[in-house]
Amino acid sequence: MTDRGATRTQLSAAVQAAAEVLATSFQLGDEAQVSDSWPVGDGDAVLTVTMTGDAAGTLHLAVSEEVAARLTAATDVLTGGLTAAVAAISAATDLTLTADEVDTGVVAAPPFIAEILDGGRLTALAGLALPISADPPAEPTGADEPEHYEPAAFTPGRQTANGTSAPMALLHDVELVVTAELGRTTMPVRELLGLTPGMVVEIDRAAGEVVVIDEEFGIRITEIAPVSERT
């Protein structure tokens, strides 16, 4: 059976997710970030857990020898933290993975690395090795479309080539509700609260704009803006 793989984007996210879990589970720091550096040297130890399932791989945790001794002495804490980190990798890669054996030893820089920081200070490293699959093809960007495409302009009511009216002509018989403001006034709140039906309130308005026709109010249209000024 051939191992399934994950894309580089997924694996990069997976190693950071695993590092965040390890930082919390083992109290190693408060931040994790992807890196391409693996500065493991004398005085450091690397704990490695083998992963099985949809793919075979390894998760590494590089810490100081003192921290490694503390973690290996607390077997339940170590197993629980590594299991949770592998679960985070599974979620990020859509792979079903299981934590298997834990070992210690020298490890070369793995393909995917994340730093664990505590207050900005490097305290540990997480490394991930899993089969890599190709990234999915990019979505079309529309590069084949004309570079200077502009929609054709039209004038409302203009006739088309076949003699029919342009789309705006279809709206000519549509009924609309028009609201007109007759005027405004300002009054204290005490006067507003004292208004009763039948009272007359004087409003400020420009003379000549409001007309009364058969006891109904109307608005006199004095100007129509040119098409070029309409929004």
Q: pLDDT tens, 82-128?
A: 999 999 999 999 999 999 989 998 889 999 999 999 999 999 999 99
Q: How distant is the alpha carbon of residue 185 from its chain centre? A: 48
Q: Is residue 95 part of a domain?
A: yes
Judge whether 182 and 210 are in contact, CB under 8 Å.
yes
If you average pLDDT over each of 11-20, 160-169, 194-203, which comes out highest? Answer: 11-20
Q: Is residue 52 part of a domain?
A: yes
Q: Is residue 185 part of a domain?
A: no
Q: What DSSP element (H or E) covers 73?
A: helix 65-73
Q: Is residue 19 part of a domain?
A: yes
Answer whether residue 158 shows pLDDT above 60.
no
DSSP helix, strand, coil percent of the chain (3-state; round to 5): 25, 25, 50
How many other β-carbons are positioned within 10 Å of the β-carbon of residue 161?
Answer: 5
Q: Is residue 139 part of a domain?
A: no
Backbone angles phi, psi at 127, to 5 degrees: -130, 145
Which two structure tokens, joined as six digits, stand for 36? 């391409």
Using one digit for the tens of pLDDT, what is the confidence trace for 42-80? 889 999 999 999 999 999 999 999 999 999 999 999 999
Q: Is residue 66 part of a domain?
A: yes
If you average pLDDT over each of 64-68, 170-174, 219-223, which comes out highest? Answer: 64-68
Burial 185-208 (b: 16+ CB within 10 A, else e): eeeeeeeeeeeeeeeeeeeeeeee
- The residue range of the domain holding 124 is 8-129
Domain count within the chain: 1
Answer whether residue 1 shows pLDDT above 50.
no
Q: What is the domain-level CATH number for residue 123?
A: 3.40.1550.10
User: Per-residue confidence at 134, pLDDT binned at 50, 70, 90?
Assistant: confident
Q: Is residue 47 part of a domain?
A: yes
Q: Is residue 32 part of a domain?
A: yes
